[in-house]
Amino acid sequence: MDIRPILTTLRRHKTAAALIVFEVALTCAIICNALFLIQNRVARLQRPSGMAENELIALRITDISTNKDADALTRSDLAALRALPGVRSATISNQVRYGDSAWNSGVGPKPNQQLETASVGVNYGETQLLESLGLKLIAGRNFREDEIVPLSERLKPGAAPVPVAIISKALADKLFPGQDPLGRPFYTGDSDGRRVIGVVEHLLRPNEFNGPASADYSVIYPTRADYNNGVYLLRVTDPARRDEVLKAAGETLSKLGPQRILSKDNKTIEAMAEEFNRTDRAMVWLLGAVCVALLIVTALGIVGLASFWVQQRTKQIGVRRALGATRGQILRYFQTENFLLTAIGIVLGMVLAFAINLLLMKYYELPRLPALYLPLGALSLWLLGQLAVYGPARRAAMVPPALATRAA
């Protein structure tokens, strides 16, 4: 089809054409970035934490007494918790995924690095931590009992440095790309190196500190936290018994230390995950609704303007029909016209999409918009435009030539 008559007509209707182009461009830019944000949020929701979340319970307790041997009472607590019916294993750590703690540190493969290689979540654990959390050890070994040191001892001035550590696979790949991490040291500033003795498949940090890219950068040190600065983690034999075990564990801890107060936030890890991910889920639904609303508004705009143009060009349509133009040719005329306007809008929209993405990268630390989203957005808008213009174009093609000429 010769597009010169179409371009001539569009030049005579610059305002209406510009409105469609602007609407398509804005929709393209927003849709591409919104779909990208949705994909990022969904990917975050689907990340494996490394834990057996549906089997875990978290309990915190604080002491209002002046107990001087918190570590001894912590060991008594653990022994009592492990003896409870329905408990598969129990441990204590300084923090857990979806919690409100944030123990972090910068590490690198060389001592005295000016810039850290990675920011990591620092976890303290004893021999049952991996079993209790359900972490999968994919290389190396677990801690031995003789390697575990109470946190109170670690914090004393002049205490010996932590000699060994277990790290996540993501951190191992970051520190030692393409190398076997076992036996290799890593450093925290100018401290003595910690030798890697094991690698777990996944262990997400408690929160999104330092952005989602480092969410799986975690290290575990052979250190037993005490109940004052730790969280008890219980893995049950049957997920259906979690509430029962949670109640029994709270009663047991209260009896072992009558001057201790149970936290009101004691709950299952799944409940903690639900609260933690609530914002991401809400964002996915909100952005999805925005995308649908924009597509509907754009389609209605195209239908409205196309209907207006058909009404304004009734005489032109009648003349073309009288000169032998078929209904199919009239239909293709309006579809081609819409295709050209949509194409211009898509080109402008792609430029605008990248500009919006640069702002998101700058202020929200999001990754660059993949080029794949642009052709997908273009195809979607071209299809939307053709569907939207089909109704008005078909009505124009159905007008009899004589009636169209008289109506003019």
Strand 104-107 versus strand 118-125 pairing type: antiparallel
Q: Is 273 domain-assigned?
A: no
Say yes or no: 42 and 57 in one domain.
no
Say yes or no: 310 and 392 in one domain.
yes
Say yes or no: 254 and 203 in one domain.
yes
What's the pLDDT tens digit per position in 232-251? 999 999 999 999 999 999 99
DSSP code per residue over 153-211:
HHTSTTPPPP-EEEEEHHHHHHHSTTS--TT-EEBSTTSPPEEEEEEES----SS-TT-
Q: 44-53, 116-125, 326-335: which has the minimum mean pLDDT?
A: 326-335
pLDDT at 138: 97
Say yes or no: 196 and 215 in one domain.
yes
Q: Is 175 domain-assigned?
A: yes
Say yes or no: 254 and 226 in one domain.
yes
Say yes or no: 97 and 161 in one domain.
yes
Strand 164-168 versus strand 218-224 pairing type: antiparallel
In the predicted structure, residue 408 carries a pLDDT above the cut 50: no
Q: Is 378 domain-assigned?
A: yes
* Segments forming the whole domain that contains residue 57: 53-268
CA torsion sign, 144 to 149 to 154 to 156?
negative
Q: How many CB atoms lie within 10 A of CB 145?
A: 8
Say yes or no: 15 and 116 in one domain.
no
Percent of the chain with pLDDT over 90: 43
Q: Is 343 domain-assigned?
A: yes
Say yes or no: 251 and 392 in one domain.
no
Helix (H, G, I), strand (E, B), or coil: what is residue 88?
A: strand
Q: Which of 268, 297, 324 is the C-terminal boundary of a domain?
A: 268
Token readout for 252 is 């047991």
What's the pLDDT tens digit per position in 72-123? 889 999 999 999 999 999 999 999 999 878 899 999 999 888 888 999 999 9
Say yes or no: 326 and 183 in one domain.
no
Say yes or no: 181 and 77 in one domain.
yes
What's the pLDDT tens digit per position in 251-275? 998 888 767 788 887 899 999 999 9
Q: 47-51, 106-110, 191-195: which has the minimum mean pLDDT?
A: 191-195
Report the C-alpha gap between 283 and 279 in whole angstroms. 6
Report the C-alpha gap between 34 and 39 in whole angstroms. 9
**Residue where the block lists tokens 């081609």:** 336
Report the C-alpha gap between 153 and 163 in whole angstroms. 14
Q: Is 324 domain-assigned?
A: yes
Q: Of 151 and 369, which is predicted with more confidence?
A: 151
Say yes or no: 312 and 341 in one domain.
yes
Q: Is 274 domain-assigned?
A: no
In the predicted structure, residue 357 carries a pLDDT above the cut 60: yes
| pLDDT averaged over every residue in the chain | 87
Q: Which of 239, 268, 297 is the C-terminal boundary of a domain?
A: 268
Q: How far apart, in Å, are the Cα atoms of 76 and each of 244, 253, 258? A: 21, 10, 14
Report the C-alpha gap between 289 and 281 in whole angstroms. 12
Token readout for 15 is 């305002």
Q: Which of 268, 297, 313 is the C-terminal boundary of a domain?
A: 268
In the predicted structure, residue 399 carries a pLDDT above the cut 60: yes
Residue 43, Ramachandran bin (φ over 0: left; ψ between -120 and 50: alpha; else beta):
alpha
Q: Is 119 domain-assigned?
A: yes
Q: Is 180 domain-assigned?
A: yes
Say yes or no: 201 and 80 in one domain.
yes
70-82 and 242-256 helices cross at what angle (nearest 10)?
140
Number of domains in the chain: 2
In the predicted structure, residue 181 carries a pLDDT above the cut 80: yes
Give the confidence band of 168 by pLDDT, cuts at 50, 70, 90: very high
| 187: DSSP letter | B
Report the C-alpha gap between 110 and 199 in whole angstroms. 19
